Amino acid sequence: MQEPTPQKPIKNSPQTVRLPIVISLTLAAGMLMGAVFFSGGKSLTDTAKGYAKFREVLMLVENNYVDSVDTDELVDYSIHKMLEKLDPHTSYFAAEEATAARSQLESGFDGIGVEFNIYNDTVYVVSPLSGGPSETVGIQSGDRLLKVNGEELSGPGATNARVFKLLRGKRGTEVNILVGRTGLKEPMTFDIIRDRIPTYSVDAAYMVDGEIGYLKVSRFSETTYDEFKTAMTSLKGQGLKKLILDLRGNPGGYMERATSIADEFISGNKLLVYTEGKDNRYNRKTNAKLKGMFEEGPVIVLANEGSASASEILAGALQDHDRALVVGRRTFGKGLVQMPIKLNDGSELRLTISRYYTPSGRSIQKHYELGKGEDYNKDLSTRFDSGEYFSADSIKFDPKLRYQTDGGRAVYGGGGIMPDVFVPRDTSMNSKFLFELYAKNILREYALRYVNDHQKTLGKQDFNEFLKKFTVTDAMLKELVQDAKKAGIKPKEEDLARSKPLILAQTKGYIGRYQWGRQRKDGLNNEIFQVLNPTDNVFQEALRQFGKAADLERGDFSSLNVEK
């Protein structure tokens, strides 16, 4: 340990000193009573001993420590460190943090838009929120946020409150973030313009052709189910017979919204998900109960390593009942249930009380060891290093965790939902130049300027005509490269050639979004998905798999080449 750097002592008035002591003792007493409530009185003596020891140490520090101390801060720190010995998802939020965290699902907020997890003083990105600034510039699941505007984010100062404080801010303001990414030796710098994080959670709903509909759900918030029903009604009115449900990058949210959507696909009163915990009061079964909007017709679910929690519940229910073909890569594997418990001072404990299981009996939760959250948070990096993102053969199934769908197909537990059809991550067009374009917002800013300069020309056509006929010309690409050079980005010819198809598609997509998407009132971003999906290898594979999806719906598994 290093000797602490001398700091100006914190001076508290007698009233200020007494207040945190009262609060902390009340908090400790509340935890003691909570132990009685949650355990039914078991191990009460051990809990009382632990409380007495903590109280004794706290009072000794307060009364005898050489300098003045912030007791509230000590209590918060001790709680955080205590919870690190548990599972990776049990967490504690101070009052301010709890309010900020709830706003992720309950209302909009200004910031950069990432779902994150903190362990061992490191901030890991679970998933960038769809439609937010972080997704726009290319932040990815598994990235490590190292610095914000030059301030260290990793280290002892990596708390929820600090992350919220540094990342959130008034829309339109810029934040510079240093990011560590698996597979790259050097950290990357991103300049992100804070924006209003959209409250909409259905990002796109459009007809691919006369029969196939595409619907993307980016998270499960308060309004997701209502948005879903509105989108499905629109698609059905346009002749929907086959559906692609895209859950990639969906970090989860409210379980009830996910099961309500599952109910729209699954007939009868079939089991959708169940939970089991140490205390049987938290054992719960959720069954289908409604006549759904789309109980007949082939369904394909797109999933990947950024699909977590509630999105895994939905994908698992549809897979186990042979109602949908899952295409993509293994999902995140977050299957622990947290109960939010509001404490007396407004802070919040999110305590893991049970596990989620799919209808076949699979635990969604990937493996973890108590107190070893660092290994847990490096799981996505481990998958990358093992080749799992690129080869189905890298996924090893544990024969002890073999389960069966309704039709007798073999499915496996062990963490996350395994796809029926594996699609590797496409890195063929990636380059350092492309990442730098994202990081500096070059593509988005160029597209916005182009739209503003060509309003009359673009306004003479509708989006469908733009989609079919518009191309990003070589002259436009040259202008874009010049913008990059002005921003200090020097492209290599081989990088430009490699990434050119994606640069052209992204630029066209942004032009479509800025010209036609901002006229929308429904929160959908159909335009950019209609431009980009034809270049998306997972989406394209899904279109080729509707024969198997139709066979699956009929109960004919012969074309699926699956183990039974």
Q: What is the pTM of this model?
A: 0.77
Distance of alpha carbon 166 from alpha carbon 160, whole angstroms = 10
Residue 101 is predicted with a pLDDT of: 66
| The one-letter amino acid at 243 | L
Q: Is the pLDDT at 491 greater than 90, yes or no?
A: no
Distance of alpha carbon 194 from alpha carbon 353, whole angstroms = 35
Distance of alpha carbon 405 from alpha carbon 432, whole angstroms = 43
Residue pair 302/419 in contact (Cβ under 8 Å)? The answer is no
Label each residue of 476-490 as H, E or C.
HHHHHHHHHHHCCCC
Among 13-27, 166-180, 475-489, where is mean pLDDT lowest?
Answer: 13-27
116 or 60, greater pLDDT: 60
What is the three-class DSSP state of 315?
Answer: helix
| The one-letter amino acid at 34 | G
Distance of alpha carbon 484 from alpha carbon 415, whole angstroms = 42
43 or 177, greater pLDDT: 177
Among 101-115, 306-320, 427-441, 452-466, where is mean pLDDT lowest?
Answer: 101-115
Residue 113 is predicted with a pLDDT of: 83
Distance of alpha carbon 555 from alpha carbon 408, whole angstroms = 10
Among 44-58, 104-118, 546-560, where is mean pLDDT lowest?
Answer: 104-118
Structure tokens at 419: 């796809």
- For all residues of the chain together, what is the average pLDDT? 85
Residue 21 is predicted with a pLDDT of: 39
With cut-offs at 50, 70 and 90, classify the pLDDT of residue 103. Answer: low
95 or 265, greater pLDDT: 265
Distance of alpha carbon 476 from alpha carbon 512, whole angstroms = 15
What is the torsional sign of CA 97, 101, 107, 110?
A: positive
200 or 250, greater pLDDT: 250
Among 132-136, 314-318, 348-352, where is mean pLDDT lowest?
Answer: 132-136
Residue 483 is predicted with a pLDDT of: 93
Q: Which stretches of 65-192 are DSSP H helices?
A: 71-83, 95-106, 133-137, 160-167
Residue 472 is predicted with a pLDDT of: 97
Q: What are phi and psi of 206, to 5 degrees?
A: -150, 160
Tell me which residues are annotated as active site.
309, 320, 334
141 or 325, greater pLDDT: 325
With cut-offs at 50, 70 and 90, classify the pLDDT of residue 158. Answer: confident
Q: What are phi and psi of 376, to 5 degrees?
A: -60, -45
Place of tokens 């109980």: 295
Residue 11 is predicted with a pLDDT of: 42
Residue pair 314/247 in contact (Cβ under 8 Å)? The answer is yes
| The one-letter amino acid at 207 | M
- Among 117-126, 158-167, 494-503, top mean pLDDT goes to 494-503
